Amino acid sequence: MGNKKKPIAVWILIWLQALLGFGAVVSGGMLMISPDGSLMHLPLYLIKSSPFENFFIPGLILCLLLGVYPLGIAYGLWKLPAWRWPDTINPFKRLHWSWAGSLATGIIVIIWLSVELLWTPTGFLHILYYVWSALIILLTLIPATRRYCRNH
């Protein structure tokens, strides 16, 4: 299954997932290493109205949900491995689990940003990542990607 010819949309999707994941692992790691935000030059007052006293938990969530997860999805889209365990939660059984995972990544980013905006001011990065997540969702939904991810 992993030897299928990848449409350009799938290659772009793989790169969007991989770059999102890499950036989030690095950023999340920096927040966990330096929970006061100093390593990333983020003042603690940015999260004063949030339920967090420092950036450690947001960094952990960022690293795992927007870092490790999209990296796994990028690999899944690239190789289409026949792993059974992700299919246990795949609601789209006719499509490879990485397709559902890719769609979920876009939604997770939108939820992350929307919750973050409850506590922090809007900035350029919010707009950039809203567009990024919209691209992930759109590229996941186009017919070429669906055909590539078809299980049968």
pLDDT, tens digit, 9 for 90 and up, residues 101-111: 999 999 999 99
Identify whether 2 is part of a domain.
Answer: no
Identify whether 126 is part of a domain.
Answer: yes
Identify whether 120 is part of a domain.
Answer: yes
Residue 4 confidence (pLDDT):
80
Which residues of the chain are modeled with pLDDT < 70? 1-2, 152
Residue 1 confidence (pLDDT):
57
**Domain hosting residue 45, numbered range:** 8-148
Identify whether 61 is part of a domain.
Answer: yes
Q: How far apart are the first and last CA of the chain?
A: 10
Identify whether 3 is part of a domain.
Answer: no
Identify whether 78 is part of a domain.
Answer: yes
Burial 22-31 (b: 16+ CB within 10 A, else e): ebbbebbbbb
Identify whether 108 is part of a domain.
Answer: yes
Triad 111, 112, 113: Cα angle to 5°:
90
Identify whether 138 is part of a domain.
Answer: yes
Residue 2 confidence (pLDDT):
55
**Number of domains observed in the structure of the chain:** 1
Residue 136 confidence (pLDDT):
98
Q: Could you tell me if 101 and 137 are in contact, meaning their C-beta atoms sit under 8 angstroms apart?
A: no
